Amino acid sequence: MSSLIAIKTPCIGVCSTGIGDVVCRGCKRFTHEVINWNGYSQEQKRAIDQRLAQFLALCVANKFRIMDLKLLHWQLEVQKIRYQADHDPYCHVFVLLKAGAAQIAAPEQFGFEVLAPFRHVPLVDLRDQIDEEFWVLSSAHYDRYIATADMFGDNGIEQAAP
């Protein structure tokens, strides 16, 4: 059923690819993904969306723990914050932080807690750190898998010896 859901652009209107970044600081897509997005099939868009969601969830899970998923979703609904239900719940925490980190005094009332090493850091700063780590992770992925020369030749197929 989720394969029938159209994948929306991850663009947040803060594109840095136009000023030379190969990974957008806003949506974390690669330049060629930003440029070609409208020409991609739903399967291609879904693959990009899943990669971004996995990276974001990893960055969030490094600083937070979801204690009560139902409470988290209830708060998102009450606060009228849109989130993608098919994304990892840690992405939902980030959506909540993007919408109102400065207004959250007690994270446990929203269904999550800050991990011990980060409890002294304000939620706004944690949100910004996560966003930066998300960009660094996307950039590292680009450097490793996109910008690196193909070890098998130009087309990715191992060349046979003459």
pLDDT at 157 over 50: no
Question: Is position 53 within any domain?
Answer: yes
Neighbours of 87 (CB within 10 A): 18
% pLDDT > 70, the chain: 89
> Rounded CA gap, 79 and 89, in Å?
16
Tokens of 18: 């136009």
Give helix 42-61 / helix 123-145 axis angle, nearest 10°: 130
Please indicate, yes or no, if residue 35 is contained in any of the structural domains.
no
Give residue 73's domain range: 45-145
Supply 73's token pair: 């979703």
What pLDDT is recorded for position 18? 84
Whether 81 maps to a domain, the answer reads yes
Domain count, the chain: 1
- Interval 45-94: pLDDT, tens: 999 999 999 999 999 999 999 999 999 999 999 999 999 999 999 999 99
User: What are φ and ψ of residue 90, in 5° steps?
Assistant: -70, -25
Kindly state the DSSP code that residue 80 receives in the 8-state scheme.
T
Residue that is written with structure tokens 């996109």 in the block:
146
139 domain-assigned: yes
Residue 91, in any domain of the structure: yes
pLDDT of residue 1: 47
Establish if 13 belongs to a structural domain: no
- The per-residue pLDDT for 108 is 98
Mean pLDDT of 22-43: 96
Does residue 78 form part of some domain? Answer: yes
Per mean pLDDT, which range of 7-11, 44-48, 118-122, 134-138 is the poorest? 7-11
**6-30 pLDDT tens trace:** 899 999 998 998 888 999 999 999 9
Beta strands in the chain (DSSP E): 64-66, 112-114
Q: Work out the burial of residue 86: count CB atoms within 10 Å of its CB; fewer than 13 is exposed, 13-18 middle, 19 or more buried.
A: middle
Joined together, the tokens standing for residue 113 give 């807690």
Using CA atoms in the order 44, 94, 64, 139, what is the torsion angle rounded to 10 degrees? 50
Q: What integer is the mean pLDDT of 19-46?
A: 95
Does residue 77 fall inside a structural domain? yes
